[in-house]
Amino acid sequence: MLEATDITKAFGGVRAVDNVSVAVREGTIHALIGPNGAGKTTFFNAISGFTFPDHGRVTFRGTDVTRTLNWRRIVMGMGRTFQTPSVFPELTVDENIRLGVRAHAKQAFQLRAPRGAAAAAVDARVDELLGFVNLAAHRGRLVAELAHGSQRLCEIAMSLSTEPVLVLLDEPMAGLAEAETDRIMAVIRDLRQRLGLTVFFVEHNMRVVLALADRITVLDRGKLLAEGSPQEIARDDAVRRAYLGSEVLERV
């Protein structure tokens, strides 16, 4: 689905990501973990086109997208969320999602609001996405007024509005309480089970990673430290030393 080969990205003299290769297979939930400053978000930015890598190659569904503009990657079937929910705070939940649905339906450029079947199709899709993330009751509220977890769900729904096949989630649980974390975990599971999507996510919370991921990639100080199944990662001594507290892994 997504192959990143020998990705390097430096800021000044610091190599934030150094020669990292990751392959995300179709239909999997793949996690990217590592201590603070490991280069996870930089790597995410490089593969999603937020920035371009200095070296290396990114292919998505067999096409080289290393230098493809970010909005084109979305059209090609990528979706992405950010560490801090990237939403339109002064628009309602409905409008936030509607913008994405209209973008996908090629209506965003129109100077007249669509009517008839075109409008009904957009309405139906907005309802469907609101239902998927369980935000239908809040559709008329401004996103800025929502709780943090609901803002994240709104952002996930927005990233789904463009009908992606691969969803990149940057720390979807950051700053959330336990109950909200469980809600988002359920949504991520649904992304694969109900929608058949491939998920690649960055996460700090090991409970989440071990419960969700089929495959885990570990970064440390910009370099690839290990890659494997949750069990393999849990047994890896280098990973234990660099990042994971042994008490977490003993429970696996």
Tell me which residues touch other proteins (CB under 8 A): 48-52, 69-72, 74-75, 79-80, 82, 86-92, 95, 98-100, 102-104, 107-114, 140-142, 158-159, 161-162
- Nearest Cα residue to 7 out of 36, 35, 40, 34: 40
Residue nearer to other proteins on the CB measure, 78 or 173: 78
Nearest approach in angstroms of CB 216 to other proteins is 25
Q: Is there a contact between 42 and 90 (Cβ–Cβ < 8 Å)?
A: no
Residue nearer to other proteins on the CB measure, 39 or 49: 49
Q: Which long-range contacts (CB under 8 A, 24 or more apart) does 225-228 make?
A: 225/34, 227/22
Nearest approach in angstroms of CB 186 to other proteins is 24
Residue nearer to other proteins on the CB measure, 89 or 131: 89
Nearest approach in angstroms of CB 106 to other proteins is 10
Nearest approach in angstroms of CB 90 to other proteins is 6
Q: Write the CB contacts of 9 (distance below 8 Å, at least 6 apart in sequence).
A: 15, 16, 17, 39, 42, 43, 45, 46, 51, 53, 54
Distances from the Cα of 121 to the Cα of 105, 108, 116, angstroms:
9, 14, 9
User: What is the residue whose two structure tokens read 């950010």?
Assistant: 82
d(CA 196, CA 209): 19
Residue nearer to other proteins on the CB measure, 104 or 152: 104
Residue nearer to other proteins on the CB measure, 37 or 52: 52
The angle, 0 to 180 degrees and rounded to 10, between the axes of the packed helices 148-161 and 178-193 is 10
Nearest approach in angstroms of CB 17 to other proteins is 16
Neighbours of 111 (CB within 10 A): 4
Nearest approach in angstroms of CB 161 to other proteins is 7
Which conformational region is residue 3 in: left (phi greater than 0), alpha (psi within -120 to 50 degrees), or beta?
beta
Residue nearer to other proteins on the CB measure, 201 or 243: 201
